[in-house]
Structure 1
């Protein structure tokens, strides 16, 4: 499996003629039910997020966003009637594998947290609950980036706070969850977080 993925990665990197086909295949693996395959495919895709790769980065970002947006409707079914919406709910693992790539690239391109904020209110309720439960590692890694100097394409905690300040309609629960994560642990709370919370209260 890993050999196959590394071969696929090399074909994408070194063989422009087959790059579109191989990229499509890699992105398909990024939502695979097989956790090992999915995780390793995501690791490869994440490396190409802009500005590291100006051609592949936007393609990967667009695909990750498309997968996230799928979670605003019912899960796809086995037939056309189900695909049009039979009232089925997303299973937790299916929700995770559809937003896992988006979370992975957001940890590198922090501005994408704003897209999640804008879209959160459109998610199916069961999927929103899963995101709230799974987002802690992402928020902590972004906040820590300012300390470690690994801010990716953004500014770590400043990007988290900036997204919080936007506070789009429907993102209340997500903002509250992020505040809980940033203030958990019993230590001093960063002044930027406190200021953002005050601004949110005054504006809303």
Structure 2
């Protein structure tokens, strides 16, 4: 299998937050929350929670703004977001690679991302990719509750092991340091590296003595 992360890998985007900002741009409460979560104190606190407990407080609270919105509306907006926004922030080299692999044998290509389900579905549809796993929002009576029923953030390795495909990974493309455990199972390791994570990736690669293909920005 050829696995691809979505956020920061296929696209230069944190697709969950960019989708929320795209869809909720006229929501005054969300705009106020956006100011708060971009403060230095909040970022430090959230980083500590993510490191210690794999808990992204910023993301968890942000998703509450989707409460009461129908799945059909979110799905429609996610498709629009993919067409209008994500099409402008493609990581061309990775995007071309995944398109090429899908054209050869789409059954071997799998998207695995912590982004929310409606975004992952829209991305998969745009790429004609048949297989994807993502964070799943909770829906009741067709409407989002603003909560998650399955969170892949920091849990991809556990999830893919439960699916029985952890030992079938030929190649994995990711920019996310929390995917380090999953990279261990990949025969070919492809890392998309940005300036803010470069030192940590280099240190990790040296510790693990990995041979990697690195695409730097």
TM-score (normalizing by structure 2): 0.28
Which structure has greater helix proportion?
Answer: 1
Which structure would you say has the larger RCO, counting Cα contacts within 8 Å and 6 or more residues apart?
2
